[in-house]
Amino acid sequence: MGETKVLVGPEPPSAADVVAVARHGAAVVITEAADRAMAASRAHIEELAARPLPVYGVSTGFGALATRHIPPEMRTKLQLNIVRSHAAGSGPPVEREVVRALMLLRLRTLTTGRTGVQPATAHALAGLLNAGITPVVHEYGSLGCSGDLAPLAHVALALIGEGDVHDAGGRLRPAAEALADAGLAPVTLAEKEGLALLNGTDGMLGMLLLALDDLRALLRHADLAAAMSVEALLGTDRVFAADLQALRPHPGQAASAANLRALLADSPIMESHRGPEDTRVQDAYSLRCAPQVNGAARDTLAHAALVADRELASAVDNPVVLADGRVESNGNFHGAPVAYALDFLAIPAADVASMSERRTDRMLDRHRSYGLPAFLADDPGVDSGHMIAQYTQAAIVSELKRLAAPASADSIPSSAMQEDHVSMGWNAARKLRRTVDGLTRVLAIEILTAARALDLRTPLRPGPATGAAVAALRAHVPPPGPDRYLAPEIEATTALVRTGALLQAAESTTGPLP
C-alpha cells in the first residue's frame, strides 16, 4: 500500500485522512492511546459478561430478538451468527474506495474505546486495510439505520475468514485464502464484537466524504466552464464585479464571482465588445447568474462538510461503553444527519448541471450565439457539430433531476417493527455518487463545446486562463473540423475534468482558485 500513514485513535480523523486511505492507499497505524482505550472498555464488557444481568449485545439477542438471554457458552456463536446472517447484501459490488472508507471509519470508532472490542480485533481490521484486501460489499442491503448493517457485515465476514474479497491486485478470492497469503489470521469474535463491527453509519459517511472531495473540484470546474461560455457567447464580465456581488454577501457567491473575474481577466474576446456597438443590456440568466448558482452550491457543500466533521468526531455504536464503564443503549446509529446532507448535495449538483446544459444549448443555437455557426458545425447541414453532445447533456441532466428527489424522505419498517423508522442514508449516498458522475460529464461537455466555440472566434483569442485550458484540452482532443466520432472526445474531456488537468492549466495563470 501507499507510503503515507494515517494515525487512527480516539482523536477524530480529518476528511483528508479518509480520502488518503480510501482513494490513495495510505496505510493506517493504531495509536497507543487507542490500544489503552480499547483495553479499558473491553475490561468493562468482560466484567458485565460475567454477571447474570442481561446486557444488550453482550448476553442477549439482537433487534426484535433482544428479549432472549444468551448463556455464556453460546455467546461466541451469537457473535459469529450475527455476522453471517447480516452479510445479506445483493447486487453488484460497490467501489473499492467506498469499502476502504467504511472500513477506516469503523476502525476509527473501534479505537475510541466506546465499543468494547478487543484491541486485536481492531488491529485485524487495520491489517486488512494495510494489505489492500477489500471485502466484497454489495449495492443493496443497508437501510441506514442500525447503521449500514449488511455492508459492514460483509467486511466483518472477511475478518473471520469467510466470504469473498479482492486482494491488493484486484483479484476476486475467498477471504481465508487472501488472509493466509497476507499473513493475517481470522478473528475469533468475543462478546459484543460482532455487533460492534456492524452498527455504524460508516458507509454513508464514507461516501459523503468522497463526494465532498469530488464536488469541491467540480464546482471550480463549473466556474471554468461558465467563464469559457461567457467568452464564447460574447457575454459581459461586468456583472461579476466584487461590489455588485457584495450586495448579496453569500460566501460561496463571492468565491465563484472572484473565480470568474480571474478566469476572464485580460481576455481579448471580452475586450472586443466593450464599446457602444454592443447594444445588449443583459446576458441570459445562465451566464449572468452563474456565481449565484455555483456559489449557492458551494455554501451547501460547506454545510455538508460541517455535518461530516461532526460525524468524524462521533463514536457510533449500540450499545456504547461510557467513560464510567456503563454500557448503554442509544439511537446514535440512526443515519438521518448524514442522509439529509447527502440528499441536500444532490439538489445543487443537479442545478449546476442544468445551468451548464443551458449554456451549451445557447452556444449551439445560431439565433442566440452571436455569430457562431449552427451547432458549431464545420458545414451546417452536412455536419451536425455538437448537436447530439447537447442531447447527451440533456439526458444526464434529466436523470440528475430525478436523483435529486430525497431518499431520506422514505422509511420502511424492519425487524418486526422494532426498527420502525430508518434513514435510507445508504441509498442517498449511492444516488449522490451517480449524481457526481453525471455532473462531471455535463461539465466536460460544456467545456468541450466552449473550447470549440472559442476556437471558432479566431482571430480573437480567449484570455490567458481560459486559453490555457483550451490548450490543455487540445493536447487530447483535436480542434474544430468536419464531423468525427465524438464519444471518445467526450470521454477524454471527462477524464481531464476528473484528473483536474484543465483546471490546473487555468490555475497556472490565475493561481489557485477557491
The answer on 155 and 127 residing in a single domain is yes
At 168 the pLDDT is: 96
The answer on 388 and 483 residing in a single domain is yes
Domain boundary among 169, 184, 200: 200
Average pLDDT over residues 467-485: 98
Average pLDDT over residues 315-326: 90
Using CA atoms, how far residue 447 sits from 29, 210, 223, 283, 315, in Å, is 42, 24, 10, 19, 43
Q: What is the pLDDT of residues 191-231, one digit of tens each?
A: 999 999 999 999 999 999 999 999 999 999 999 999 999 99
The answer on 216 and 190 residing in a single domain is no
The answer on 176 and 255 residing in a single domain is no
At 390 the pLDDT is: 98
- Per the structure, the count of domains in the chain is 2
Q: What is the pLDDT of residues 430-450, one digit of tens each?
A: 999 999 999 999 999 999 999
Using DSSP bridges, classify how beta strands 134-135 and 164-166 pair: parallel, antiparallel or unpaired.
antiparallel
pLDDT higher at 504 or 144:
504
pLDDT of 160 higher than 80: yes
Measured between alpha carbons, how far is 23 from 209 in angstroms, rounded to an integer? 11
**What whole-number percentage of the chain has pLDDT above 70?**
99
C-alpha 495: how far from chain center: 17
Q: Are 195 and 146 spatial neighbours (Cβ–Cβ below 8 Å)?
A: no
Say how many Å lie between the first and final Cα of the chain, rounded.
Answer: 31
Residue 237 bridge partners (DSSP): none
Q: What is the pLDDT of residues 382-397, one digit of tens each?
A: 999 999 999 999 999 9
Task: Count the alpha carbons within 13 Å of 109 in the hemisphere toward its beta carbon.
Answer: 31
The answer on 296 and 322 residing in a single domain is yes
Q: What is the pLDDT of residues 4-61, one digit of tens each?
A: 899 999 999 999 999 999 999 999 999 999 999 999 999 999 888 888 777 777 777 7
Confidence band for 368, pLDDT divided at 50, 70 and 90: very high
Domain boundary among 200, 230, 258: 200
At 2 the pLDDT is: 53
The answer on 383 and 362 residing in a single domain is yes
CATH number of the domain bearing residue 116 = 1.10.275.10
Average pLDDT over residues 235-249: 97
Collapsed DSSP state (helix, strand, coil) of residue 28:
strand
The answer on 120 and 40 residing in a single domain is yes
At 279 the pLDDT is: 67
At 73 the pLDDT is: 76
Measured between alpha carbons, how far is 202 from 181 in angstroms, rounded to an integer? 28
At 295 the pLDDT is: 98
Q: What is the pLDDT of residues 270-293, one digit of tens each?
A: 999 987 777 677 999 999 999 999
Question: What is the average pLDDT score of the chain?
Answer: 95
Residue with cell 442509544: 330
At 64 the pLDDT is: 65
Domain boundary among 200, 231, 247: 200
At 421 the pLDDT is: 87
Q: Are 413 and 323 spatial neighbours (Cβ–Cβ below 8 Å)?
A: no
Average pLDDT over residues 241-245: 97
Positive or negative torsion for Cα 163, 169, 171, 174: negative
The answer on 376 and 321 residing in a single domain is yes
| Residues 305/154/184/100 CA torsion (nearest 10 deg) | -20
Q: What is the pLDDT of residues 72-83, one digit of tens each?
A: 778 788 889 999
> Cis peptide leading into 319, omega within 30 of 0?
yes
At 4 the pLDDT is: 86
CATH number of the domain bearing residue 295 = 1.20.200.10
Q: Which three cell numbers stand for residue 500?
A: 483536474
pLDDT of 67 higher than 90: no
DSSP string of 179-192, one letter each residue: HHHTT-PPP---TT
At 317 the pLDDT is: 92
The answer on 238 and 314 residing in a single domain is yes
The answer on 235 and 178 residing in a single domain is no
Structural domain harbouring 119: 5-200
At 212 the pLDDT is: 98
The answer on 258 and 171 residing in a single domain is no
The answer on 438 and 312 residing in a single domain is yes
Q: Among 56, 140, 391, 485, which one carries the catalytic annotation?
A: 56
Measured between alpha carbons, how far is 134 from 178 in angstroms, rounded to an integer? 10
Confidence band for 63, pLDDT divided at 50, 70 and 90: low
**Active-site residue, 56 included:** yes
Q: Which three cell numbers stand for residue 510?
A: 490565475
pTM (2 decimals)?
0.95
Q: What is the pLDDT of residues 398-431, one digit of tens each?
A: 999 999 999 999 988 888 787 888 899 999 999 9
At 58 the pLDDT is: 79
Q: What is the pLDDT of residues 90-109, one digit of tens each?
A: 999 999 999 999 999 999 99
pLDDT of 66 higher than 80: no
